[in-house]
Amino acid sequence: MREMFDQELESVQERIVEIADTVFTVVSDAATALLEADVKSADRALVGAELVSEKALSLDELVIRTLALQAPVARDLRILVSTLRISASLERMGALASHIATIARFRFPDSAIPESLSDTFDEMARLDIRLCKKLIKLLKNTSVDLARSIQAADARVDELHREVFEVVLDKTWKEKAVHTVDVTLASRYFERIADHVVDISSKVSYLTTGDWSDNDLED
- Binding site residues, a second copy, CB under 8 A: 57, 60-61, 64, 67-68, 71, 73-74, 77-78, 81, 84-85, 88, 165, 168-169, 173, 175, 177-178, 180-181, 184-185, 188, 214, 217-218
In a 10 Å sphere around its CB, with 0-12 CB exposed, 13-18 middle and 19+ buried, how is residue 5 labelled? Answer: middle
Q: Measured on CA atoms in the order 209, 214, 216, 219, is the torsion positive or negative?
A: positive
When the beta carbons of 146 and 168 are compared against a second copy, the nearer one is 168
When the beta carbons of 60 and 149 are compared against a second copy, the nearer one is 60
The span from the CA of 111 to the CA of 131, in Å, is 24
When the beta carbons of 145 and 218 are compared against a second copy, the nearer one is 218
Q: How far is the CB of 210 from a second copy (least distance, A)?
A: 13
When the beta carbons of 84 and 146 are compared against a second copy, the nearer one is 84
CB atoms under 10 Å from CB of 147, counted, come to 16
The span from the CA of 66 to the CA of 12, in Å, is 10
Q: How far is the CB of 149 from a second copy (least distance, A)?
A: 25
Q: How far is the CB of 116 from a second copy (least distance, A)?
A: 12
When the beta carbons of 56 and 129 are compared against a second copy, the nearer one is 56
Q: How far is the CB of 180 from a second copy (least distance, A)?
A: 4
Q: Measured on CA atoms in the order 196, 24, 92, 55, is the torsion positive or negative?
A: negative
The span from the CA of 82 to the CA of 88, in Å, is 10
Q: DSSP readout, 175-193?
A: --HHHHHHHHHHHHHHHHH
The span from the CA of 179 to the CA of 73, in Å, is 52
The span from the CA of 162 to the CA of 169, in Å, is 11
Q: How far is the CB of 67 from a second copy (least distance, A)?
A: 6
When the beta carbons of 129 and 183 are compared against a second copy, the nearer one is 183
Q: How far is the CB of 177 from a second copy (least distance, A)?
A: 5
